[in-house]
Amino acid sequence: MEKFTFIKDQLVYIKKNKEYKNLKENLELAIKELNKEVSVMKTYVELNLKATTKILKKFKKYCKFCLEKIDISKDIEEYFNMPSINLKEPLKQIAEVQNEIEKVFYTHFFEKYAFNTLKKLKDYANKVYFTQIQSFYFGFFMGILAILFFLCLIIGWHFKIDMDDDAEFKTIFPMFRGYAIISMYFWLLGLNVFAWNNFNINYKLCFQFNNHYSDLTSICKRNALFSTMLVLMILCYMILRTKIPIINDLLIFIPLEMTPLIAWLCLVVYLFFPSTDYFNYEGRVYFFNLFVESFSSIFIKCDFKHIWFMDQLTSLIGPIRDLEYTICYYSHYSSNP
């Protein structure tokens, strides 16, 4: 209740002082998190009640000394309502807290549309990883990605493009390879987040996130974008390289050697995009701060997030070397076009 009281006081203060209105979004998230914690507590209490009921019923069933027929349901009810136990009292208290949270939530955030209050809180407390619309679009773009990938395989097989036997492709392949490994790494991060959510692991506390973490849907959207850009540029390279009629005329404006650079620019623009309204700005700031802190860990306190980050960088030695090769390649290309 102390946390709830603090949130209410902050909301009242912001209502009186309009200059702090931009902080209201943080309090909305805080009250949603509080309602989620209360919902988990309610589930825990209900589970305890159910377990106690089943234990008492098993006791009645297997007790050999009960020769008479006893109304076990009456005994259970009396047991639950004993002043020294009263297992149902926490449920009443939790229900009162939830009603108070709903009242405060719609008063400060849904004054005109109060009927949305309960739905908003329930949807946040019982998150569905993908809604029906999100699942459709995700499947749609993944289908496009699969088609582009198979087109690359077919063109590579038909025109016999092989890195080992093709000196020209051998110089381009490392640039695509580094980007591909990073894209695969992003997919594995999404798989980690799914597993952490599924097994109720509080990774937000481990990595000291505030309000800038990405949900599973956002991670998968970005992964689909990066992966599609990679496969699309590989397909463009193969079309330009093999000079397939008609399609080659449409892509002739793209220099053959620039196709890997376009894919890398997509990632660079995402990381360094200056706007605060797009591409998870707070998350990108957190990444750069973590990068600086990790390399300054000799002089500052080292936490779990720094150890984890440096371990990830160590595992990404391969793509980092490919990134170095890409920078050297285009530095030489710009000086000797």
Q: Are residues 272 and 166 located together in one domain of the fold?
A: yes
Check whether residue 113 and residue 163 sit in a common domain.
Answer: no
User: Which residue carries 């376009």 as its tokens?
Assistant: 262
Can you give the residue range of the structural domain that contains 112? 2-125
pLDDT in tens, 153-163: 887 777 776 65
Report how far residue 67's alpha carbon sits from residue 60's, in angstroms, rounded to the nearest whole number. 10
- Both 217 and 321 in one domain: the answer is yes
Question: How does residue 311 score in pLDDT terms, banded at 50, 70 and 90?
Answer: very high
Tokens at 53, concatenated: 């009921």
What's the whole-number mean pLDDT along residues 161-186? 82
Residue ending a domain, among 89, 106, 125, is: 125
Mean pLDDT is highest, among 20-24, 203-207, 214-218, 275-279, for 203-207
Q: Which are the contacts of 62, defined by CB distance < 8 A and separation ≥ 6?
A: none
Residue 252 CA to residue 206 CA, distance in Å, equals 49
In the chain, how many domains are there?
2
How much of the chain, in percent, has pLDDT values that exceed 70?
A: 74
Q: What confidence score (pLDDT) does residue 127 get?
A: 62
Residues 142, 49 within the same domain: no
The arithmetic mean of pLDDT across residues 61-81, rounded, is: 58
User: Is residue 128 scored above 60 in pLDDT?
Assistant: no
Q: Which residue has the higher pLDDT, 34 or 233?
A: 233
pLDDT computed for residue 194 by the predictor = 85
The whole-number pLDDT of residue 244 equals 79
Once rounded to an integer, what is the mean pLDDT over residues 84-98? 72
Instruction: Tell whether 111 and 136 lie within a shared domain.
Output: no
One domain for residues 73 and 41: yes
Res. 193: pLDDT tops 80 = yes
pLDDT at 182: 92
Among candidate residues 100, 125, 150, the one where a domain is terminated: 125
The pLDDT tens digits of the residues spanning 255-303 come to 888 888 998 998 888 888 877 677 778 888 888 988 998 888 888 888 8
273 token code pair: 């995009």
Both 120 and 182 in a single domain?
Answer: no
Rg of the chain in Å (alpha carbons):
29
Residues 287, 145, single domain; the answer is yes
Average pLDDT, the chain: 77
Alpha helix stretches (DSSP H) within 243-316: 247-250, 259-272, 281-295, 304-315
Looking at 106, 125, 144, the residue that finishes a domain is 125
Question: What pLDDT was estimated at residue 114?
Answer: 55
d(CA 27, CA 41): 21
What single letter denotes the amino acid at residue 217? T
Q: Look-up: residue for tokens 């005994």?
A: 75
Mean pLDDT to the nearest integer, 234-242: 84
Cβ(240)–Cβ(251) below 8 Å:
yes
Residue 90 has pLDDT above 60, yes or no: yes
Q: What is the pTM of this model?
A: 0.63
What pLDDT shows up at residue 322?
92
Q: Residues 136, 95: one domain?
A: no
Residue of 180 and 134 predicted with greater confidence:
180
Closest CA to 134 of 194, 216, 212: 216
Burial 183-217 (b: 16+ CB within 10 A, else e): beebeeebeebeeeeeeeeeeeeeeebeeebbebb
199 plus 80 within the same structural domain: no
Taking the CB of residue 305, how many other CB atoms lie within 10 A of it?
16
* pLDDT band at residue 142 using 50, 70 and 90 as cut-offs: confident
Query: With bands split at pLDDT 50, 70 and 90, how would you rate the model's confidence at 131?
Result: low
Q: What confidence category does residue 67 fall into, taking pLDDT thresholds of 50, 70 and 90?
A: very low
CA 236 to CA 230: how far, in whole Å?
10
d(CA 179, CA 173): 10
Q: Indicate whether 13 and 139 sit together in one domain.
A: no
Residues 221 and 104 occupy one common structural domain: no
